[in-house]
Copies of this chain bind each other. A is one copy, B any other.
Amino acid sequence: MTTETRVREQALAAKRAARTLAALSSATKTTALMRMAEALTGNVDALQSANQLDLDAGQANDLTKAMLDRLALTQKVIDGMADGLRQIAALPDPVGNVDRMWVRPNGLRIGKMRVPLGVVGIIYESRPNVTADAAGLCIKSGNAVVLRGGSEAIHSNTAIVRLLRSAAAESGLPAEAIQIVETTDRRAVGELLKLDDIIDVIVPRGGKGLIRFVMENSTIPVVKHEDGICHTYVDRRANLDMAEGIAYNAKVQRPSVCNAMETLLVHADVADEFLPRIAARLTAAGVELRGCERTRHLLPEAAAATEDDWRTEYLDLILSVRVVDSLDDAVAHIEEYGSHHSDAIVTDDYEAAQRFLLDVDSATVYVNASTRFTDGYEFGLGAEVGISTQKLHARGPMGIDELTTYKYIVYGSGQVRG
C-alpha cells in the first residue's frame, strides 16, 4: 500500500469512528479517558523502551541536550500525561448543549446545538506528551483524531497511541477514533492536508516552517498557532512597583513560551525613573537588553536594538526596550511589530486602560497583569490544544469548546415557506 493510500484509509477509518463517537454519552467518554490514564501509568516499561529507540536515534543524529530532554519519557512526564487525561475527563462535556433557543413568529423553535467537529488532524513536532493531550481533548469533545508527530518521536508516539487505543476499545469507544500516521515519509503530511472531504480541521503545532508549510498546502481549514511577540506598555500613570512586578514576571518567569514578553514599551515621562529599576532586576536575572536610542541614553549597558529586534520572538532571556511618547505610539508599535497574541498595559488611568483594551487588536489584551496568563488553565477553560493567533473560529487559548462546532436544530409543526 502506498503512503498516500494508507493515510487516506486511516482518515476514513477515523471518519467512520467519529460518527459512533459523536453519539456516545459523557459517562462513556469519561470512563475511557480514566482508563487511558491508567494504561499509561501501568505500562511505564513499554513506553520507556519505545522511547529509548527514539533517544538512541536522537543521539546518533546529534540532537542537542535540550531536544533530547524534551523527547524523554521520564516517570514524571508519563505521570503528567496521565494527570492531563484525568483533568480532561473531569471537564464539563460541551457536546449536545444548546446555547440558546428562540421562537420565530411562525412558531418554529430554532436552537444552536454544540456538536463535535468530526475529524481533527494534528501535526506537531517533538514532545511526545502532546500525543496524549491532543488525543484526550479530541475524545472528550467527541472528535476522532489523526495525529502526525515528529519523526524523532515516532516510536514513543506510536507506543502511546497503542496504549490509548486499547484502553479506548476496552471502554466501548471505537479504537479507530485515534489514528497515528506511523511513517516518517514526508509525503504523508502532503496527503493528509488534501483530505478535505474527510478531515474537518488541521491544527499545526510547531515551528514557523511547519506552520507555513501547512498554510500553503492545506485545502482543509487550519487553526494556526504562530509567534508570540508580546508587549508590556508602562504608561505615564503606571504604578511603577506594579509595573516592575508585571514586567519582570512576563519576561523572566518562563522566557521560552509564547506568552512571555519580548518587548517593553515605556512612556517617556516615567522612563527616567522606571528603566534603571527594572533594568537592574532584569540584568540580575541574566536578561540581555536591547534598546532604542532613548533607552540606551538611560541604560548605557543595553545593546542597540535593530528593526529586526522589534519583530523577533526571542523565547529567551533577551528583551527589547523602547521609550514612547504616548499611548498612541505604544499602540502603533504593537500593531506594527506585534503578533496579536498577548499585550498588556500597566496604568492607573481609567481612559488609558479602556483605550488600550479597545485599540490593541490582539487575542488577549491585559490591564495591570502579566501576559503569562494567556493559557487555557489560567483562563479556567481547562487543557488547551494550543493558542490560536488567527481570527477565524478560535482566537487565543483553544480548549475543548473550540474543538466543537454547532448545528441548527429546528422544531416545527408543519411550517412551509410562503
Binding site for B on A (CB under 8 A): 19, 22-23, 96, 102, 104, 108, 110, 113, 115, 117-118, 196, 200-201, 215-216, 219, 221-223, 239, 242, 245-246, 248-250, 253-254, 335, 353, 357-359, 361-370, 372-374, 378-380, 390-393, 395-396, 405-417
Q: What is the distance, in angstroms, from A212's C-beta to the closest C-beta of chain B? A: 9
Q: What is the distance, in angstroms, from A345's C-beta to the closest C-beta of chain B? A: 10
Which 10 A-B pairs give the minimum distances between C-beta atoms? A369-B412, A249-B416, A372-B417, A393-B393, A391-B405, A368-B412, A364-B408, A221-B392, A242-B414, A369-B415
Q: What is the distance, in angstroms, from A112's C-beta to the closest C-beta of chain B? A: 9
Copies of this protein in the complex: 2
Given A215-B196, A393-B392; A104-B379 close (CB under 8 Å): yes
Question: Which B residues are in CB contact (< 8 Å) with A364?
Answer: 407-410
Task: Give A335 to B18 CA distance when docked, in angstroms.
Answer: 13
Which of B219, B359, B367, B417 is within 8 Å of A249, CB to CB?
B417
Q: What is the distance, in angstroms, from A28's C-beta to the closest C-beta of chain B? A: 15
Sample (19) of A-B pairs whose CB atoms are under 8 Å apart: A102-B380, A110-B380, A118-B361, A200-B390, A201-B391, A223-B392, A245-B416, A246-B416, A249-B417, A254-B417, A364-B410, A365-B407, A365-B409, A366-B412, A369-B414, A373-B410, A374-B408, A393-B393, A395-B406
Q: CB distance B335 to A391 under 8 Å?
A: no
Question: Which B residues are in CB contact (< 8 Å) with A249?
Answer: 416-417
Q: Which residue of B lies closest to A405 (CB)?
A: B391
Task: Give A196 to B391 CA distance when docked, in angstroms.
Answer: 12
Q: Which residue of B lies closest to A117 (CB)?
A: B391
Main secondary structure of the interface of A (DSSP, over half): mixed
Question: Which B residues are in CB contact (< 8 Å) with A391?
Answer: 117-118, 200-201, 221, 405
Task: Give A414 to B247 CA distance when docked, in angstroms.
Answer: 10
Q: Which residue of B lies closest to A196 (CB)?
A: B215
Q: CB distance B358 to A379 under 8 Å?
A: no
Given A414-B246, A415-B370, A416-B372; A407-B390 close (CB under 8 Å): no
Question: Which B residues are in CB contact (< 8 Å) with A22?
Answer: 361
Q: CB distance B361 to A392 under 8 Å?
A: no
Q: Which residue of B lies closest to A368 (CB)?
A: B412
Question: Which B residues are in CB contact (< 8 Å) with A362?
Answer: 407
Q: CB distance B357 to A409 under 8 Å?
A: yes
Q: What is the distance, in angstroms, from A108's C-beta to the closest C-beta of chain B? A: 6
Q: What is the distance, in angstroms, from A307's C-beta to the closest C-beta of chain B? A: 17
Which of B201, B369, B407, B413 is within 8 Å of A410, CB to CB?
B369
Q: What is the distance, in angstroms, from A197's C-beta to the closest C-beta of chain B? A: 11
Name the residue in A117, A246, A405 with the highest tally of chain B Cβ atoms < 10 Å from its Cβ: A405
9 extra interchain contacts, Cβ-Cβ under 8 A, other than A221-B222, A245-B414? A96-B358, A110-B379, A200-B391, A364-B409, A367-B411, A367-B412, A373-B415, A374-B408, A396-B408
Given A221-B392, A373-B410, A416-B249; A361-B239 close (CB under 8 Å): no
